[in-house]
Structure 1
Amino acid sequence: MTVLFWVGGVLLALTALPAAFFFALHLGTGEPVPLARAKALYHWAVVVFLGTFDIAIFTKVVQGIILVW
């Protein structure tokens, strides 16, 4: 489980930090291209976060089913 959180955290950092950078770049320049990149990276950051959360929850559910069985 620790490996899952480390991998999820690293992937989240690799997607969320550039998203914030590109959004700040868009705010500073007003160009539409950094905004498009920020949106794409933000969506991937959400996918990584929700996927990690989902895997963690279902791991606990499966462990509980195995214990009851």
Structure 2
Amino acid sequence: MTVFYWVMGVLIVGTLLPSVLYLLLYAVTGEAACATRARVLWNISRVFALLGFNLLIWGHVAVGLWDIWRM
């Protein structure tokens, strides 16, 4: 599970930080392309966060069912 947490953390932070950077660039310059990139990276970051949450929940469900049926 530790590897899973690290991979998901790197994916989420790796898209969240550039999103914040592009949002700041948009606030400073007013360039529409920066706003578009910030929005896309923010959406990708949300997808990774929700994917990680879903995998975590269903992983625990699968392990619980495996433990029940193994007995």
What is the TM-score normalised by the length of structure 1? 0.96
The answer to whether structure 1 residue 68 and structure 2 residue 55 are counterparts is no
Q: How far apart are the structure 1 equivalents of 2:47 and 2:2?
A: 19
The answer to whether structure 1 residue 19 and structure 2 residue 29 are counterparts is no
Q: Which residue is equivalent to 1:5?
A: 5
Larger Rg: 2
Partner letter of residue 35 of structure 1? A
Number of residue pairs matched by the alignment: 69
Deviating beyond 3 angstroms after TM superposition, the runs of 4 or more aligned structure 1 residues are: none
Which one has more relative contact order, counting CA pairs under 8 Å at least 6 apart?
Answer: 1
Within 5 Å, which residues of 2 pair with 1:39-54? 39-54=39-54
Task: Tell me the CA shift for residue 13 of structure 1.
Answer: 1.2
Query: C-alpha offsets along residues 3-39 of structure 1, whole Å, 9 cap, x if unaligned?
Result: 1110000011110000000001001111110000000
What are the ranges of 5 or more consecutive residues in structure 1 without an aligned counterpart?
none
What is the TM-score normalised by the length of structure 2? 0.93
What are the ranges of 5 or more consecutive residues in structure 2 without an aligned counterpart?
none
